[in-house]
A and B are shown apart, each in its own frame.
Chain A
Amino acid sequence: MPDKRIDSLDIKIIRLLQQNARASFKEIAAYSKNSSDTIKNRYNILLKNGIIRGSTIVIDPKKVGEGNLVMMGIKIVQPYSDSIINMIKKIPGICIVSRTIGIYDLEAIFILKDIEQIGATKETIEDFPQVKGVNVGIFVDKPLLCPKNFEFE
């Protein structure tokens, strides 16, 4: 269930910050017709309650020279332990790794510089014991991020 502690003003604050995390409390106050102090207060409560976990800028990884986002779908001999996840966690460039229910057993997303590094990373994973196969998917274009779509009920 959605957090009961969120009301319509909180949602307004969240919506605005999702589109521009650098908006000042004054700007949010003007937009929501409240005082800056109220907004600051609410923002701090949202942070304290962990509803807002942080803020970040959206960068173009290619322009910044960080290369490609690559998804690896990994099939593993069952049963498997967390030790393989811990091994994957240590691979350079790792972004996210998760156990999954679906066509793969694990999925991981990496940021890798070039085709050589993609190949090397795939081989590293294939060399792990229990790994049956690795499927690579390379993100083309800028990934489209659409956080402002989150629904609140």
Chain B
Amino acid sequence: MKLDRIDTTIIEMLKKNARTSLREIARKLHVSPDTVSSRFEKLEKQGFIVGSTIIIDPAKIGYSFITRFGINVKPAYSSQVLENIIKIPSVIVATKLVGQCDLIAISVIKDFQHLCRMRDTILEMPYVNNVDVSMWIKTMELCPYYFLI
């Protein structure tokens, strides 16, 4: 399916504010609200739009920094480990990676003790070989839409 101007406008506007009403998008596009509504449903159904969420300021709810974990696992077990990692509270993004490590997880962290606990939790998972930790300081988010930080 090729996306046209209507589809991309819907995506762009909702990326900036998921609560924009479909009527408002229709007004901007000079099309009927029904058109926008049926396009929106189609985009959802075909998996272009996976869902919607709000962006929370982690500092306001007691988190102090972001950490990236690089995880090396026993070959062929990456999916299984990923499933466990995604269940850890405070993990924001986790994915398989082609590169130095097999999986990465980006997480919000409360304090140093929390960081140590997180690292231990991951290390104790079956099939995990090792974990490297990288603490993000002075993070600049230029396009936070992909990362719900």
Q: What is the minimal beta-carbon distance from A129 to any residue of chain B, in angstroms? A: 20
Complex contact A50–B101 (CB within 8 A)? no
Number of interface residues of B (CB under 8 A): 63
**Does B66 sit within 8 A of A, measured CB to CB?**
yes
- Which residue of the partner chain, among A53, A55, A107, contacts B136 with CB atoms under 8 Å? A107
Complex contact A14–B56 (CB within 8 A)? yes
**Does A3 sit within 8 A of B, measured CB to CB?**
yes
Complex contact A51–B61 (CB within 8 A)? yes
- Which residue of the partner chain, among A102, A141, A146, contacts B91 with CB atoms under 8 Å? A146
Q: What is the minimal beta-carbon distance from A62 to any residue of chain B, in angstroms? A: 10
**Does B75 sit within 8 A of A, measured CB to CB?**
no
Complex contact B135–A96 (CB within 8 A)? no
In angstroms, Cα B98 to Cα A122, docked, is 15
Scan residues 121-153 of chain A and give those whose CB is less than 8 A from a CB of chain B: 135-153
Interface size class of A (residues with CB under 8 A): 35 or more
> Which residues on A sit within 8 Å (CB–CB) of B14?
56-57
Pick from B17, B46, B92, B99 the residue with the most CB of A within 10 Å: B99
In angstroms, Cα B136 to Cα A109, docked, is 12
Q: What is the minimal beta-carbon distance from A131 to any residue of chain B, in angstroms? A: 17
Complex contact B97–A138 (CB within 8 A)? yes
Complex contact B56–A100 (CB within 8 A)? no
In angstroms, Cα B89 to Cα A17, docked, is 17
Complex contact B96–A140 (CB within 8 A)? yes
**Does B117 sit within 8 A of A, measured CB to CB?**
no
> Which residues on A sit within 8 Å (CB–CB) of B77?
none
Pick from B48, B50, B56, B144 the residue with the most CB of A within 10 Å: B56
Give a binary string over B86-121; 1 marks a CB under 8 Å from any A CB, 0 the rest.
Answer: 111111111111111100100010000000000000
Complex contact B134–A140 (CB within 8 A)? no
Residues A143 and B47 in contact in the complex (CB < 8 Å), given A65-B3, A100-B68: no
Complex contact A50–B60 (CB within 8 A)? yes
**Does B55 sit within 8 A of A, measured CB to CB?**
yes
Q: What is the minimal beta-carbon distance from A11 to any residue of chain B, in angstroms? A: 9
- Which residue of the partner chain, among A2, A3, A52, A95, contacts B55 with CB atoms under 8 Å? A52
Q: What is the minimal beta-carbon distance from A25 to any residue of chain B, in angstroms? A: 10
Give a binary string over B52-64; 1 marks a CB under 8 Å from any A CB, 0 the rest.
Answer: 1111111011100
Residues of A participating in the B interface, judged by any CB pair closer than 8 Å: 1-3, 6, 14, 17-22, 49-61, 63-65, 69, 71, 73, 85, 89, 94-104, 107, 109, 111, 135-153
Given A17-B54, A71-B99, output 6 extra A-B contacts at Cβ < 8 Å.
A55-B53, A85-B138, A96-B140, A96-B147, A140-B96, A140-B98
